[in-house]
């Protein structure tokens, strides 16, 4: 008779301990914010303001950076469903339109990522002084490259991503900040009218991107 009581008890214990272990997750589908990316191999630092719409599979990125003492600025609109990337130059009303053949990737922790640990950035003693985060690592199946991710434990908001080459050298270090859920102005995903008549150039060869950071 006792065994009948024990089975549901063991099961519920097993389930509750399973539930405590964080699961890979997708970030909120509408996000706006900023990131800095550092690409040591190219001595490149980039600051980006981005709008990200996982429903429509649209991304708009304003990127500014410095590459070997040369500053640059790029305004790019990526429409993944339509398979088009726009490089927009408002100052002279021109547009470079390129076919976009890479699939859209959600911001988030890949389903096959490995949970490392949970930590509090700052202090857990008083509200507003700390942030509970999860650390993950894994390997991109297609490229065999390694990554290390830090996402918030609640809400799956990206904080830091480190991408490594197959030789375990750091290739891209990204930190996200000032994120808000939602899109303030949905017009950011509509290309300006001076882009309409521009011909589409063929897609760039060898373009593999884990996220929109690599698509600049």
* For a copy of itself, the closer CB: 116 or 203: 116
Q: Kindly report the backbone phi and psi dihedral angles of residue 185, in degrees, each rounded to the nearest multiple of 5, phi listed first.
A: -130, 105
* For a copy of itself, the closer CB: 93 or 155: 155
Q: In angstroms, what is the minimal distance from the CB of 120 to a copy of itself?
A: 5
Q: In angstroms, what is the minimal distance from the CB of 40 to a copy of itself?
A: 12
Residue appearing with tokens 């726009």: 86
* For a copy of itself, the closer CB: 60 or 97: 60
Helix (H) or strand (E) holding 9: helix 2-20
DSSP character at residue 146: E
Buried b (16+ CB within 10 A) or exposed e, 129-157: eebebbbbebbeeeeebbbbbbbbeeebb
| Interface ranges with a copy of itself (CB under 8 A) | 28, 31, 33-34, 119-126, 128-132, 152, 154-155, 157-159, 176-182
* For a copy of itself, the closer CB: 151 or 212: 151
Q: In angstroms, what is the minimal distance from the CB of 177 to a copy of itself?
A: 5
Nearest 5°: the CA angle 27, 78, 74 is 105
From CA 9, how far away is CA 15, in angstroms rounded? 10
Q: In angstroms, what is the minimal distance from the CB of 162 to a copy of itself?
A: 13
* For a copy of itself, the closer CB: 41 or 122: 122
* Cα-Cα-Cα-Cα dihedral sign, residues 97, 90, 176, 33: negative
Q: In angstroms, what is the minimal distance from the CB of 87 to a copy of itself?
A: 28
């Amino acid at each position: 008779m006792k065994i009948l009581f024990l089975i549901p008890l063991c099961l519920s214990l097993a389930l509750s301990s399973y539930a405590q272990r964080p699961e890979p997750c997708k970030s909120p589908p509408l996000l706006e914010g900023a990131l800095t990316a550092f690409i040591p191999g190219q001595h490149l630092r980039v600051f980006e303001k981005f709008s990200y719409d996982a429903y429509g599979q649209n991304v708009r990125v304003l990127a500014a950076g410095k590459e070997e003492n040369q500053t640059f600025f790029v305004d790019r609109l990526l429409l993944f469903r339509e398979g088009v990337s726009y490089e927009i130059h408002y100052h002279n009303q021109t547009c470079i339109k390129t076919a976009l053949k890479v699939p859209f990737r959600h911001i988030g922790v890949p389903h096959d990522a490995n949970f490392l640990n949970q930590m509090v950035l700052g202090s857990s003693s008083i509200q507003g002084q700390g942030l509970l985060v999860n650390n993950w690592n894994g390997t991109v199946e297609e490229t065999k490259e390694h990554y290390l991710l830090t996402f918030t434990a609640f809400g799956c908001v990206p904080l830091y991503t480190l991408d490594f080459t197959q030789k375990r050298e750091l290739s891209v270090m990204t930190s996200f900040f000032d994120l808000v859920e939602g899109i303030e102005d949905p017009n950011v995903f509509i290309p300006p009218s001076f882009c309409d008549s521009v011909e589409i150039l063929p897609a760039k060869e060898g373009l593999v991107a884990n996220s929109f950071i690599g698509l600049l």
